[in-house]
Amino acid sequence: MLTTTDTVSPTGPLDSAVLRRAAAPLTVTVDDEARARIDRGRSFFRALRHGDGGEERRIYGADTGFGALVGYAGRGDEADQCDNTLAHLGAGQGPDLPHEIVRGALLLRTRSLAQGFSGVSAEVVERLAAMFATTFSPAVPRYGSVGASGDLIPLAYATQALRGRGHAYVDGRRMPAAEALAATGLRPLALDGRDALALVNGTSVTTAALALARDAVRAAHRALTDLTCLLADLLGCDPGFLDEDLLRAYGHAGAVDVGARMRHTLSGVTPSGTRPLQEPYSIRCAPQLLGAAEDALRYADGVVTADLGGVSDNPLFFPGDAGAGKVVHGGNFFGQPAAFAADLLASVTAQLGNLAERQLDLLVDPARNGGLPPMLATAPGLQHGLQGVQLATTAFVAEIRRAAAPAGMQSLPTNLHNQDVVPFGTQAALRSYDMAELLGLLCGSLALGLRQAVHVGARRPTASRCGELLDALVAAIPPVEPDRPLDADVRAATRLLVTGDRP
DSSP 374-422: GGG-SSBTTB-TTHHHHHHHHHHHHHHHHHTS-STT----BTTTTB-S-
Cα distance between residue 467 and residue 267, in whole Å? 11
Dihedral over Cα of 372, 376, 382, 388: its sign: negative
What are the residues whose beta carbons fall under 8 Å from the beta carbon of 394, sequence distance 6 or more? 357
Cα distance between residue 216 and residue 499, in whole Å? 9
Residues in the chain: 503
CB count within 10 Å of CB 297 equals: 20
Radius of gyration, alpha carbons of the chain: 26
Check: CB of residue 57 under 8 Å from CB of residue 34.
no
Closest CA to 124 of 166, 69, 187, 78: 187
**Residue 97, SS3?**
coil
Return the axis-axis angle of helices 78-86 and 193-200, rounded to nearest 10°: 30
Is position 60 annotated as part of the catalytic site? yes
Dihedral over Cα of 441, 407, 200, 298: its sign: positive
**Residue 175, SS3?**
strand
Considering the candidates 60, 157, 169, 433, report the single residue annotated as catalytic. Answer: 60
Q: Please give the distance of CA 117 from its chain centroid, rounded to a whole number.
A: 26
* Secondary structure letter of residue 361 according to DSSP: H
Check: CB of residue 210 under 8 Å from CB of residue 429.
yes
Cα distance between residue 251 and residue 98, in whole Å? 41
Provide long-range contacts, Cβ within 8 A and 24+ apart, for 367-375. 368/280, 369/235, 369/453, 369/458, 370/235, 370/236, 370/272, 370/274, 370/275, 370/458, 371/457, 372/453, 372/456, 372/457, 372/458, 373/456, 373/457
Check: CB of residue 82 under 8 Å from CB of residue 196.
yes
Instruction: Point out the residues that are catalytic.
Output: 60
